[in-house]
Amino acid sequence: MSQPKRKSVYKVDFAKEFQGIKKGKEDYHAHCIPCKDEINLAAMGKTAIKQHQEKPKHKENAKAVATTRYFTASKGVQVRLLDMESLPGEDSTMVANFIIQVLGKHQLQFENLVSFCADNAPVNFGGPQLAGPNNVFKKLQEKKKNLIPVGCSAHILHNAAQKAADRVPVDIEAIVFKLASYFKGSTRRHEDFKDICNFLEVNYETIPSHGPTRWLTLGKVIDRVLKLWDPLTTLFTSKDKSPRILEEFFSSDESLPVLQFLHSVLAVFEKPLLLLQEFYTTVIEYIDKWFRVEFLPTNISWIMLSKKSVDYYDIVEMAG
């Protein structure tokens, strides 16, 4: 009797080999970011990714875009779209060749290229350590040794806030997503909540949505939840068959201090993130604004935070 065939699983190198691919929900799934599709690798391994990237849907969704950012004395920083093309395979070699071809097409000298700017995907830079030869930056660097890698600073700052938030006792993103799921598409639930707000004399407002890659939305959602804290607590602690995660969250004495703490700290990140998303800001302006007093928090002792170990509850007390 033959043994069952072993299932192929996702490998970290797939993200370096294929643009827009990350680990899926299961070990034997890959996730296509442009298409928002799960790709089953169990039977064919990475061949399934190649086949997916040949589909018309993926070719329509996955387009390589080349822009140039330059400076002139008369107009300052300028950004121009050079080209946009569908790259079915989207591996690092294809993307690097696309950039080289686009520069040549517009008669832009490669030796004048100062930096390569892209998101922080492994296929672009090979990870935080710029490791390995199979990424776009390394392939471009073969043509110009002093090329400067520029990843997405806003994404890095977002990750810093997110990783720090993961250390608090409550998974706030799970709560936020569950809240959105509870109210989504239910007029009856909105009306019930509106009645509670009216009874408690609190202005009814909807809770904005939050996406894990939308850097400024979590703070806005927390701000709204704090404004509606009493009505939400009444709703989920008095209603039969409330989602357990929400009932436990709004019943806990720890939840409100955690929210207030995160609300205070996330505000520290908001101004730098908005600055990093400005279109025409130069590096010099970034540095100048970054170190201004207006970006430094006034409610946290940085002397204390400089210690190697700071207790969470000490920070809550300072943030309060």
Structure-block tokens of residue 190: 């909105």
Tally Cβ neighbours within 10 Å of residue 65. Answer: 11
Q: Going residue by residue through the chain, which has 320 residues, state the pLDDT in tens, using 9 for 90 and above.
A: 444 457 888 988 887 677 778 888 888 899 887 788 899 998 888 889 888 888 888 777 767 778 888 888 888 888 888 887 777 666 788 889 999 999 999 999 999 999 998 888 788 888 777 778 889 999 999 999 999 998 887 777 777 777 777 888 888 888 998 998 899 888 999 999 999 999 999 999 998 887 766 666 788 899 999 999 999 999 999 877 889 999 999 999 999 999 998 888 888 777 777 777 776 667 667 666 655 544 555 444 444 444 444 444 554 454 44
- The number of helices, as runs of H, and strands, as runs of E, in the chain is 16, 7
- Cβ partners under 8 Å of residue 306, min gap 6: none
- Cβ partners under 8 Å of residue 318, min gap 6: 299, 300, 301, 304
What's residue 106's pLDDT?
A: 92
DSSP string, 186-249: -HHHHHHHHHHHHHTT----PPPP--TT-TTHHHHHHHHHHHTHHHHHHHHHHSTT--HHHHHH
What's residue 89's pLDDT?
A: 62
Distance of CA 171 to CAs 19, 167, 236, Å?
A: 30, 9, 17
Distance CA 271, CA 263 (A): 14
Beta-bridge mates of residue 23:
30
Q: What is the largest CA-CA distance in the chain?
A: 78
What's residue 5's pLDDT?
A: 59
Burial class (CB in 10 A: 0-12, 13-18, 19+), 1: exposed
Distance CA 93, CA 118 (A): 15
What's residue 184's pLDDT?
A: 86
What's residue 283's pLDDT?
A: 67
Report pTM.
0.60
Residue 130's Cα: distance from chain center in Å? 20
Q: CB-hemisphere CA count at 13 Å for 316?
A: 14
The beta strands (E) that lie in the chain are given as 21-23, 29-32, 37-40, 63-72, 76-86, 115-117, 148-150
Structure-block tokens of residue 27: 């070990």
Among 226, 273, 270, CA closest to 250: 226
